[in-house]
Amino acid sequence: MYLIAFPLLLIPFALYNMIAFLLSVDFNATVFSVPLMSGRSMPLSLGDLLVLLAVLLLYLEILKATRLSTKAIVDHVLSIILFIAMVIEFLAVQRAATSTFLIMLALSFVDVIGGFTITIRTAQRDLAVEGVDRMAAS
């Protein structure tokens, strides 16, 4: 995977900022509707689509966290920096005070905590397996 040391949640964060500051579009405005079998249709807003994109990218971030390498550490540090930047923007910028941004902020928090948790658990298993191999060789 080429994007090991790149926080993928930066993509919806950047898209949110481009839309909010350059286009001034309402995130609650319906982009399109999905027809359902029940006969109703489900409207999807721009904010909904950004959150869906962020959830999919969070899944990829969790997959990336299962690798043990120095690139994974850099990826974790960049994810923390992104999370801190998002918190600051949420608290200080009026256009970022939306439910869409809050959900993306929560996903970034899950990325940071989940990444460290998975890395620590993977490292513990790796140490446990190496320790058993050394004892068997002796």
Q: Which two tokens stand for residue 96?
A: 């970022």
Bridge partners, 112 (sequence order): none
CA distances from 23 to 49, 96, 132 (A): 16, 14, 58
Mind listing the pLDDT tens digit for each residue in 43-76?
Answer: 999 999 999 999 999 999 888 887 767 777 888 8
* Residue 1 CA from chain centroid, whole number: 17
Its pTM stands at: 0.81
Alpha-carbon radius of gyration of the chain: 19
Please tell me the distance from the alpha carbon of residue 63 to that of residue 76, in angstroms, as a whole number: 13
- Termini Cα distance of the chain: 37
Question: Which secondary-structure segment (H or E) carries 138?
Answer: none
Mind listing the pLDDT tens digit for each residue in 13-45?
Answer: 999 999 999 998 889 999 999 999 999 999 999
